[in-house]
Every structure is written in structure tokens, then in C-alpha cells.
Amino acid sequence: MQANKIIRIGQIVPSSNTTMETEIPQILRAREGLYPERFTFHSSRMRMKQVTAQELQRMDSDSDRCALELSDARVDVLGYACLVAIMSMGLGYHRVSEQRLHTRTLENNAAAPVVTSAGALVEGIKALGAKKVSLLTPYMKPLTRLVIDYLENEGIEVVDSISLEIADNLEVANRSPLAPVEITKQLITHNVDAIIASACVQMPSLQSVQIIEDRENIPVLSSSIATTYQMLKKLGLPTRIDGFGTLLSGAY
């Protein structure tokens, strides 16, 4: 009997992040009930405690080291798990970051595709064919404005947004994963093509996504779902994982 293929998932995460190392494994463990691949999870950390533009920029400079560390483990795909850090570095920066970090893995003779959560959210929205979105973030309003400007630069109109204005990254992680169910009721969803239940890799939302989607009858996604989707695409694997919204229905 042939053993199931083991795929190593690498993540570059802020030092205070606890959510992406929880939600991405949860999604991919659910996938193991449908497909033969099995996954292991490996992380390297960049120092960050307060979600401010200055601290995010300092943190990003540490990502090269993290990519090298993860390529030492010969990961099969590498995810940069901080959406707003990438977006705060300038419009379209996810392309620069993904290429630079991929080059670090090449230099280490351990080539691995790189996914950023920022790029994954853009690509996930586009995969759905969505042109207009409404979104929820935990950020201070100036950082949410960065997210809106970044998406709109990619041709995605942000119709409405809610900023919870939480600067402490651990406080963000401690929120209930079901909180977005109620909060998103305040978003404008008329003539919107998709809802982003968490435009942040640290704010838990995984248990909310399918509930919101069933209520609103339009696609709902999150940073962790989009990142998982893009990782599977880079790995050339089917993207069906039941219960996590339209993007992971297997149709895209």
C-alpha cells in the first residue's frame, strides 16, 4: 500500500500571531478527509506586537531570514502570513515580496513557491469574479484605508468597511471566531459580489464564513481561506474543502 504524500506547509508569521497557525491547519486537516495528501506545518517568526505602520515595516525586513529558515526544512510552499504588513509597504508590493522570498529559497537550493496573504486575498477575490466587496478588519482606520487603497489599486472596489480599531495584536487573536457573524450584519452588502469576513490574518473568523455566506447568499472569504486556496493552487492540488465558503468549493 502506497503511503500518502506528506506536504510541508511553511509560514512566516508575526511573533504575536496565533491564528494562521490555527486556521490553516484546521482547513487542511478537513481536506484530508477528501484527498490522500497529508500536511505538516512549520513556522518562522518576525517580531511584532502592535499593529502600527512603523512596526509592520520593521517586521517585514525580517522576512528574508524567515524564508531561509523555512527553506532549510525544505517546505513545499511558503506563506507570508501578514496581510497588512505587505499592504503597508506600497501598492502591489505582494509581487515584490513573493519574488524576493522565492529568490531566497532558490539561493538556499530549496526552491519553494511563495504566497503572501495580501496577494492571496487579491487573487481569491479575482478567482470568484468579484468586482465589489465589503470587508471587516480589526485595524485602526488608517490601516484599513491602506487595505482599501491596495485592493482598489488591483481593480477591486470596496463598497463598505468596518474597522474595529484594535492595535494590540494579541487582543485581536482573542476575539471569538463567531464574532464576525453579527458584526458583518452592519456591512452594506447590496450589489456587493463578496464579503471579506476578516481582512486580517490574526482576527479569527473561520467558523463564521459559511454562516455568513448562507445568510447573505453571496461568497464570503477570509485571509486564511484565501491563503490556503492560493497555497493549494501553487501546489497543483484540488481546492475543494467543504464548509469554508465558495472559494474552497472546488469550483475555482
Cα torsion angle, 251, 187, 198, 114, sign:
positive
133 is in an annotated binding site: no
206 is in an annotated binding site: no
How buried is 203 (Cβ within 10 angstroms: 0-12 exposed, 13-18 middle, 19+ buried)?
Answer: buried
159 is in an annotated binding site: no
**Does the annotation count 66 as an active-site position?**
no
84 is in an annotated binding site: yes
**Does the annotation count 82 as an active-site position?**
yes
169 is in an annotated binding site: yes
164 is in an annotated binding site: no
The DSSP bridge pattern shows strands 157-163 and 132-137 to be: parallel
Out of 133, 179, 200, 203, which one is annotated catalytic? Answer: 200
Out of 81, 82, 206, 247, which one is annotated catalytic? Answer: 82
**In the chain, where does DSSP find H-type helix?**
20-31, 53-60, 63-72, 83-87, 93-107, 117-127, 141-153, 169-173, 179-183, 206-216, 223-235
CA angle 22, 24, 25 (to 5 degrees): 70
139 is in an annotated binding site: yes
Residues identified as active-site: 82, 200
Question: Binding-site residues for substrate, please?
Answer: 17, 82-84, 139, 169, 201-202
Question: Binding-site residues, please?
Answer: 17, 82-84, 139, 169, 201-202
